[in-house]
A = this chain, B = another copy of it.
Amino acid sequence: MSVTFAQGFSAAGVAAGISSVEGKKDLALVVNNGPLDAAAGVFTSNRFCAAPVQWSRKVVADGHVKAVILNSGGANACTGEAGYAQSVATAETVAGLIGAEPNDVAVCSTGLIGELLPLDNVLAGAKSAHEALAATAEAGTDASHAIMTTDTKPKTVELTGSNGWKIGGMVKGSGMIAPQLATMLCVITTDAVVSAGQMQAALAVAAEHSFNRIDVDGCMSTNDTVLLLASGASGIEPDKDEFNKLVREACASLSRQIIGDGEGASHDIRITVTGATSEDAALACGRAVAASNLLKCAISGNDPNWGRIVSSLGTVPPEVAPYDSNKVTVDVNGVRICENGGAGRDRSEVDMTPREVHIDIDLNTGSDAEATVWTDDLTHEYVHINADYES
């Protein structure tokens, strides 16, 4: 379903011979059939950002996007002017096929860094994808498969507003996932009648509270891209608050699915920090805990090791997050194993069998700001994937 759930969008996913995996679908095309072509986007802040990111950032800047072409099998990052020329050529080809300007076509790539794409395959694949375009559920599903790399399953979302307008979306991402976006490509579509400015505002807030608060492995990618496209095909102008809410829900669902499919993960870890003096303080604490390899190993061994939680918390400078270490409590899966900065109930009381692990940290500053971040545990399988997968 994914991006074709909203009216006014057609999609396709084809095998274009870009991926080294024989026969894998590796090229997706999403076309906005209008009547609107409003668009918003957020991109990686990595200074080695890929050619398609440099291109698409310019494309989205004017608030108009008619199509997005996405490939797995190659990131086209650190490829210099030749790589940029490939992104431009890809956009030009798609523009010719759909009768648009190149500047209305966004390009996304994911895969190995540092190598040019097999451009002939990409351009031939664009033609195949254009021929396969359909507004069906199956076409949306094909597109969501074509962007997968180490993902083990496609990740999609479908939401419906109170008076019938819709949001659909797809994302890929599994490793090189860190706050400030992830190695992820995400396309969200809506048939609501909304302006590009409204979309950009909604997307920025939604991404900040979702994609920017997940961390599989602390590594920020060169290619992260989140696009939001509106066709207006429903003819419905949604309530602004509801629109913001559903965009946020869509991003939350997709980012949660990334964590659920984190490379090699056996536990999804939700870290909520409460009782902080500010949301930024809570977030800094949550991120410090989420970044602890030692804790992530302990969780993979089903050990709710609160010592590794508080020792990570203790690395956050006081000026960033004021708190008294003697007042901190930590609950894991509902059991208060750390009380007043020291041992609480015995850690053997914690049931670690569920895949989802909840770490609730109360800083007890007297204020009530809070933040939640998600991460994965660190497993043998993660090391295996990343020691043996060239990317």
Contacts and interface: CB of A to CB of B under 8 A. Distances in A.
Contacts of A318: 47
Given A297-B386, A312-B219, A315-B46, A307 B77 contact: yes
Contacts of A379: 383, 387
B222 A311 contact: yes
Interface stretch (A107-115, A122-130, A155-163): A107-115
A380 B380 CA distance: 5
B343 A313 contact: no
A384 to B, nearest CB: 7
B311 A219 contact: yes
Interface stretch (A62-70, A96-104, A251-259, A288-296): A288-296
A78 B310 contact: yes
A248 to B, nearest CB: 25
Contacts of A387: 297-298, 300-301, 303, 379
A292 B219 contact: yes
Interface in A132-180: 175-176, 178, 180
A258 to B, nearest CB: 16
Contact of A341 (B78, B298, B341): B78
Given A341-B48, A383-B378, A387-B297, A78 B307 contact: yes
A114 B343 contact: yes
Given A343-B114, A383-B378, A217 B78 contact: no
Chain copies in the assembled complex: 2
Interface centre among A178, A218, A343, A383 (most CB of B within 10 A): A383
A341 B113 CA distance: 11
A314 interface: yes
A300 B383 contact: yes
Contact of A314 (B46, B75, B114): B46
A212 to B, nearest CB: 13
A307 B223 CA distance: 12
A interface residue count range (under 10 / 10 to 19 / 20 to 34 / 35 or more): 35 or more
A114 B307 contact: yes
A220 B298 contact: no
A75 B47 CA distance: 41
Nearest to A390: B303
Interface in A342-391: 342-343, 378-380, 382-388, 390-391
A313 to B, nearest CB: 7
Contacts of A244: none
Given A46-B314, A311-B176, A114 B390 contact: no
Interface of A: 45-49, 75, 77-80, 83, 112-115, 175-176, 178, 180, 217-222, 291-294, 297-298, 300-301, 303, 305-308, 310-316, 318, 325-326, 338, 340-343, 378-380, 382-388, 390-391
Q: List the 4 closest pairs (A to B, CB-CB), nearest first.
A: A113-B307, A301-B387, A297-B386, A48-B314
Given A83-B342, A115-B343, A218-B218, 18 more contacts: A48-B325, A77-B311, A78-B307, A78-B338, A78-B341, A112-B307, A113-B306, A113-B308, A180-B315, A218-B291, A219-B292, A220-B312, A221-B311, A222-B314, A294-B391, A297-B387, A303-B390, A307-B391
26 contacts: A47-B314, A48-B311, A48-B341, A49-B314, A75-B307, A77-B311, A78-B307, A78-B343, A80-B340, A83-B342, A113-B306, A113-B311, A114-B307, A114-B338, A114-B342, A175-B294, A217-B294, A219-B293, A220-B311, A220-B312, A222-B307, A222-B314, A297-B385, A298-B386, A300-B387, A301-B388
